[in-house]
Structure 1
Amino acid sequence: MAAVLAGPSALSFSSSSRVRVSSIGSVRKPGFRLGFSRSEFGGSRISISPAALVLPILAPVQPIVARRVCRFTGKKANRANKVSFSNHKTKKLQFVNLQYKRVWWEAGKRFLKLRLSTKALKTIEKNGLDAVAKKAGIDLRKE
C-alpha cells in the first residue's frame, strides 16, 4: 500500500508503516539523510521529493555582544590560578579593566564614546587618539 501526502511535505512511502512528518516535510528521525532512508517501522523505504527540501536559507541572527577585549591595545582576559589558604589552585580569569569613555577627537571636532582599557586611555593621553587608532587599524569616522 503506497501513500502520498499532499501539500508542502511531499513525502511518499510504501507498506503500512507509520512515519512522523513535521509541517515542513522532514522526517523526525535522528539519522535522517537527504535522498533515501529507512524508516524505523517495518523497514519500509522512504523517498522525499527535492521540491520539498528547498527552503529559504536564513542566517542565524546573533545579538551584538560587547567582547571583553580592548580594540586599541588588543588586551584580553588572562588565565590565572586562584590560590587558597591551603594552596589549592583553581583556574580563574583576570579580565581587562574596560571603561566606557567619552574622548575628544580633534580631527573630527567631536566627542567619541569608546570602550577602551585604562592602559589604552593612558596611551591616548601620551600619543594622541589619531596615532593610537591608526596603529590599531581603527577608522574613527565610523565610530
Structure 2
Amino acid sequence: MTTMATQGAFLRLRLTSSSKSVAKPTELGFLSSQLSGLRISQGPSTDVINRISLPSFPGALQPIVARRICPFTGKKANRANKVSFSNHKTKKLQFVNLQYKKVWWEAGKRFVKLRLSTKALKTIEKNGLDAVAKKAGIDLRKK
C-alpha cells in the first residue's frame, strides 16, 4: 500500500462553509504547516482524498503542550547512552527534574505557580524570584 506522499498526489480541501468561500492565506499557511509538505489546492471535489477530515481546533490554534524545558534555566533533555553489562550501548533520554511549585512573589504579594527544575528552585532561593525571572526574561504578571 502506498501513501499519498509517495504517489505525489495533491491534497484538495473542500471548504464546508455556507457557500463557496475563499480561504484566507493565514488559514492555508496553517494547514500547510500541519500537513508537513503536502500541497493544498482548491478544485473539483471528485477524489477520494477529499474525504479526509482534518482535526479542527477553535480559532485555528494548535493545542498547548507542556514541553520538558525549564523556562528559567533553559535545561532540557540530554541524549545519553545506556550501557549494558556486555557494554552494548543504546540511546536514551535523560529528562530534566521538573516540578510544579507555588513560589511566593514578593512584588506581586501572591503565590505564582511555576513549572521549574530543581536547579532553578535552588537559584530562586539564593537570588530571589524577581532577579531570576528578570535574567530569564519572564514576565510574572501574566496568568
**The TM-score by the shorter chain falls in which range?**
0.5 to 0.7
Query: What are the within-5 Å matches in structure 2 for residues 91-106 of structure 1?
Result: 91-106=91-106
Paired residues in the alignment total: 97
Is the helix fraction higher in 1 or 2? 2
In the alignment, does 2:2 pair up with 1:30?
A: no
Deviations 1:61-112 (A, max 9, x none): 3110000000000000000000011110011000000000000000000000
TM-score by length of 1: 0.62
- Structure 1 or 2, whichever has the larger Rg, is 1
Partner of 2:125, secondary structure, is helix
CA distance in 2: counterparts of 1:112 and 1:53, whole angstroms? 45
- Show structure 2 runs of 5+ residues with no match: 1-7, 13-19, 31-59
Query: What are the within-5 Å matches in structure 2 for residues 1-143 of structure 1?
Result: 30-31=9-10, 54-57=22-25, 58=27, 59=30, 60-143=60-143
**Alpha carbons of structure 1 residues 70 and 32: separation in structure 2 relative to 1, 3 Å:** closer
Partner of 1:82, secondary structure, is strand
**1:90 is aligned with what amino acid?**
T
Higher relative contact order (Cα pairs below 8 Å, separated by 6+ residues): 2
Identity %: 81
**1:92 is aligned with what amino acid?**
K
Partner of 1:79, secondary structure, is strand
Q: Which runs of 4+ in 1 moved over 4 A?
A: none
CA RMSD of aligned residues (A): 2.2
